[in-house]
Structure 1
Amino acid sequence: MDTVTEFTEAKPARKYRRRTPDEKRQIVEETLTSGRSVAEIARSHEVNANQVFDWRKQYLEGRLGVSHHECALLPVAVNDAGDSKVADPPTSKLSAPVPGKMRIQLPRGDVHVEGSVDLDTLRVVIQCLRG
């Protein structure tokens, strides 16, 4: 009786690469601005998509630090609550923020904010809609 034994070469163990917070932020920001899927971006960086989703959560919670990318200032028009005319910005001393209403018009959509808002979340929304 002949016995045939087949041997296959074992694949070498995959070495995991440790990502710096800057690299994680860059990958997350790419998922928020590129229009590509998270899975596609994860594959291009040789990262599991679930890991990228975890980094996105950390990013939105402010746990990946601050991005070193330049922030662009957006033009702002201040309107009186009951008037449609553009008002001059106040020149008096700065006071504590008062919850109110805000409407931000961006190329890819409008943002309506009422009351207090998490600034990190608002920043991410504006970055996504800025176009």
Structure 2
Amino acid sequence: MGSDPTVEVRVRAVRRRAWSTEDRLRIVRETLEPGAVVQTVADRHGVSTGQLYTWRKQMLATAMAGFAPVEVMPEPPPALPAPSLASAVVETTGSLEIVMPSGASIRVTGAVDVITLRMVLAELGGR
């Protein structure tokens, strides 16, 4: 009889990706864009949709855990009428401080850009 057929079997370890926090946040933010389809984002990055939803849930829980009651201190009214929200910069001076339970704080003094302030608050989870 002829020679026996040779079968070669190669075994390799299953590779698990280690995603950095920054990569996870970037991918999750992609899923939150208007018109984004989670399946498409997942396919683009080689992640399952279940994993993406898990990351979203974890990030929401983390963001919400850092919030504490906020006390609003009114500023004296400006001499001029307040500009509309459409204006780029509020010309009055003042200060804003957000103190997290961890002790970390965010402080803004001087002219406050309303649009930037809204974006910061949105990123903190106050959408």
Structure holding more strand per residue = 1
Could you tell me the TM-score, scaled by structure 1's length? Answer: 0.41
| Structure of larger gyration radius | 2
Query: Which structure carries more relative contact order (alpha carbon 8 Å, separation 6+)?
Result: 1
Could you tell me the TM-score, scaled by structure 2's length? Answer: 0.42
